């Protein structure tokens, strides 16, 4: 869908491919775009949607933010640079360091006819140029849009090692990236992928919760806009999952058997990487030898 205003001069466009969100923030200095979709071709729709808002002559994108390194959030960077010039592209330092390798892995997969055939966009992913974010930070940074500021915060590791959230304090909006997921495409299950940190994720969301109020509007990386209550519920569910894994490992249940040995707050089919990664990240003191 095109951009929809969710707060004063803050618009969100929810794109069907991956059900991913792109957010636009306006200040007197210009526009900030958060996340740029999964291909250069797809990002041309972002440029068209910005123009369709009819914000007036001279109102253009002056800043781009990538919430993390995954291709569905960064592969439109080159298109936005082509449309708006050498605008700064911001990301956490770890995300920026990982973008090129993360995108290359996806391109190799999509280039394999047996692996990428189920996505009709595979060819445009492979054809997209990679532009790595060139303005990075470690903990927090403020983007000055003139009459308003956007705070970029790295709350810790979760979906990836380089997640960031963007807070727009004057309208009480938090852009949570893939630390929060609402999309029905994944049954509102967070993106527990092969580079996630499931044991640290709840603590990172505690930091995000600290940036919110009861009235905060939360924009997830994928799916519909949510509120603080949804954020709390998802944080608690991830926390239950993390404690379940700790309990299983502490009782000597092997990782290969863990999914069948407990009840989980999310559908089991989405949790294989989460359990594997959590077992790998547990300290030895929290794991017993497998039970015989």
Other Cβ atoms within 10 Å of 120 Cβ, number: 9
Assigned domain for 267 exists: no
Assigned domain for 227 exists: no
Assigned domain for 104 exists: yes
pLDDT in tens, 122-167: 999 999 999 999 999 999 999 999 999 999 999 999 999 999 999 9
Determine contact, residues 249/285, Cβ cutoff 8 Å. Answer: no
Other Cβ atoms within 10 Å of 85 Cβ, number: 10
Assigned domain for 57 exists: yes
How far apart CA 81 and CA 64 sit, in angstroms, is: 9
How many domains in the chain? 1
CATH number at residue 62: 3.60.15.30
Tallying the residues shown for the chain, one arrives at 292
Mean pLDDT in each 10-residue stretch from start to end of the chain (292 residues)?
Answer: 95 97 98 98 98 94 98 98 98 98 95 80 95 98 98 98 98 98 96 98 98 98 98 98 96 95 97 97 80 50
Inter-CA distances, 53 with 2, 9, 32, 86, 149, Å: 9, 11, 14, 22, 21
Determine contact, residues 50/64, Cβ cutoff 8 Å. Answer: no
The reported pLDDT for the residue numbered 117 is 64
First-last CA distance in the chain: 54
Determine contact, residues 9/26, Cβ cutoff 8 Å. Answer: yes
The reported pLDDT for the residue numbered 170 is 98
Determine contact, residues 172/216, Cβ cutoff 8 Å. Answer: yes
How far apart CA 289 and CA 249 sit, in angstroms, is: 9
* DSSP letter (8 states) at residue 67: S
Residue 44, domain extent: 1-137
How far apart CA 157 and CA 155 sit, in angstroms, is: 7
Assigned domain for 31 exists: yes
User: pTM of the full predicted structure?
Assistant: 0.96
Assigned domain for 75 exists: yes
Assigned domain for 70 exists: yes
Kind and range of the H or E element at 141? Answer: strand 140-144
Assigned domain for 243 exists: no
- SS3 assignment, position 267: coil
The reported pLDDT for the residue numbered 292 is 45
Closest CA to 235 of 210, 192, 206: 206
The reported pLDDT for the residue numbered 290 is 66
Kind and range of the H or E element at 102? Answer: helix 93-111
Express the helix, strand and coil content of the chain in percent, nearest 5 each.
40, 25, 40
* DSSP letter (8 states) at residue 256: H
């Amino acid at each position: 869908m095109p951009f929809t205003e969710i707060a004063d001069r803050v618009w969100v466009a929810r794109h069907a491919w991956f059900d991913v969100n792109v957010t636009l923030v306006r200040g007197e200095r210009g526009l900030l775009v958060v996340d740029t979709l999964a291909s250069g071709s797809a990002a041309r729709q972002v440029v068209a949607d910005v123009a369709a808002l009819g914000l007036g002559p001279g109102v253009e994108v002056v800043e781009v933010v990538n919430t993390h390194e995954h291709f569905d959030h960064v592969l439109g960077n080159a298109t936005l640079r082509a449309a708006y010039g050498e605008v700064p592209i911001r990301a956490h330092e770890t995300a920026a360091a990982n973008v090129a390798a993360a995108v290359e892995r996806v391109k190799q997969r999509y280039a394999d006819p047996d692996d990428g055939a189920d996505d009709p966009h595979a060819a445009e992913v492979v054809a997209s140029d990679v532009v790595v974010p060139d303005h990075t930070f470690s903990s927090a940074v403020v983007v000055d849009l003139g009459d308003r500021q956007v705070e970029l915060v790295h709350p810790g590791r979760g979906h990836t090692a380089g997640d960031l959230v963007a807070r727009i304090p004057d309208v009480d909006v938090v852009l949570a990236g893939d630390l929060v997921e609402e999309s029905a495409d994944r049954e509102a299950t967070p993106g527990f992928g092969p580079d996630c940190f499931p044991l640290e994720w709840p603590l990172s969301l505690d930091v995000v919760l600290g940036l919110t109020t009861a009235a905060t509007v939360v924009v997830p990386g994928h799916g519909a806009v949510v509120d603080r209550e949804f954020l709390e519920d998802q944080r608690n569910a991830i926390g239950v999952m993390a404690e379940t894994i700790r309990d299983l490992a502490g009782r000597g249940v092997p990782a290969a058997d863990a999914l069948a040995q407990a009840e989980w707050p999310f559908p089991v089919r989405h949790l294989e990487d989460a359990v594997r990664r959590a077992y790998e990240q547990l300290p030895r003191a929290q794991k017993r030898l497998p039970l015989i």
